[in-house]
Amino acid sequence: MAFIRKRIVLPLFILCVISLGLFLGGFIVFSDHVSTLQAPDLTVPADGIVVLTGGYSRIEGALELLKNKRGERLFISGVHASTNRNELQRVTGGDATLFECCVDIDRSALDTVGNAAESVKWANANHYKRIIVVTNNYHIPRTMFELQRASRDIEFIPYPITNTNLRDGNWITRGLVVRVLLVEYVKYVGAIIRYQLPARLSDVTTSLLHRIKG
C-alpha cells in the first residue's frame, strides 16, 4: 500500500510544484508586461474610440482622445443603468457639446465579455475598422483577448490608463497592487481556458469567474 501511495503521491506532488511554478512565473510576466504598457502612437487617427467603465479616469482619458480628434465617436460601454448622460458628463468633466454630438453610451454590458460584444456591435453599426480601446493597464490583456475573440475584422489599438506608475518594478512590494494584478491575472487565465473547453464546461467556468469581484 505504501508503495502504491508513493507512486501516486510523488507524481502528484511534483505536478503541483510544476503547476505552481508555471502559475507564479506567468503572473510575474503578466505583471511586468502590464506595468510597463505605454500609450500607442496615434499620429494616424482611428475610426472610433471605445472605453470600458470601471473608473472615471478611463472615461476622462477617452474624452481627451475624442477632443483631440483621435477618433470620430466615443462608445462608453458598461455604464450603470441609473447613470444618465448629463450626470456622466458632469462627473467626468467632459465638454457638453462634445458629449451630445459624439458620445454613445451602452448600459447593457455587465462584464468584459459583454463590453467586447457591445463594442463590436457599435463598431459594425458605424462601419468602423480601427478602434482605440481605453481601459486600465492591468485590464488590457483580457480586454484585447475578448475583443479579438468577438471580431477578427476590426483592428483594436490598446490605450492603457495608468493610475499608479509601476514602471520601476516595485509593484511586487505593494500589497494592494499585487492583489489587483493577481485577481486580473486569474481572470485572464480563466478567459483563455474557457474558450478551450466544451460549451457546458465553459459555462461553468464563466459562472465561477463572475463570482470573483473586480
Query: Nearest CA to 48 among 27, 77, 23?
Result: 77
Judge contact between 69 and 175, C-beta under 8 A.
no
CB atoms under 10 Å from CB of 52, counted, come to 30
pLDDT digits (tens, 9 = 90+) for 154-184: 999 999 998 776 666 666 666 778 888 999 9
Shortest CA distance to 66 belongs to which of 90, 82, 46?
46
Taking only the tens place, the pLDDT of each residue in 18-31 is 888 888 888 989 98
Of the listed ranges 53-57, 58-62, 78-82, 204-208, the one predicted with least confidence: 204-208
Range 48-161 classified under CATH 3.40.50.620: yes
Q: Is the pLDDT of residue 58 over 80?
A: yes
> 118 and 127 in contact (C-beta within 8 Å)?
no
C-alpha cell at 45: 487617427
Residue matched to cell numbers 483580457: 142
Domain with CATH 3.40.50.620 in the chain: 48-161
Per-residue confidence at 213, pLDDT binned at 50, 70, 90?
A: very low
**96-127 pLDDT, tens per residue?**
889 999 999 999 999 999 999 999 999 999 99
Q: What is the mean pLDDT of the chain?
A: 85
Q: What phi-psi label fits residue 169: left (phi over 0), alpha (psi between -120 and 50 degrees) or beta?
A: left
pLDDT of residue 59: 93
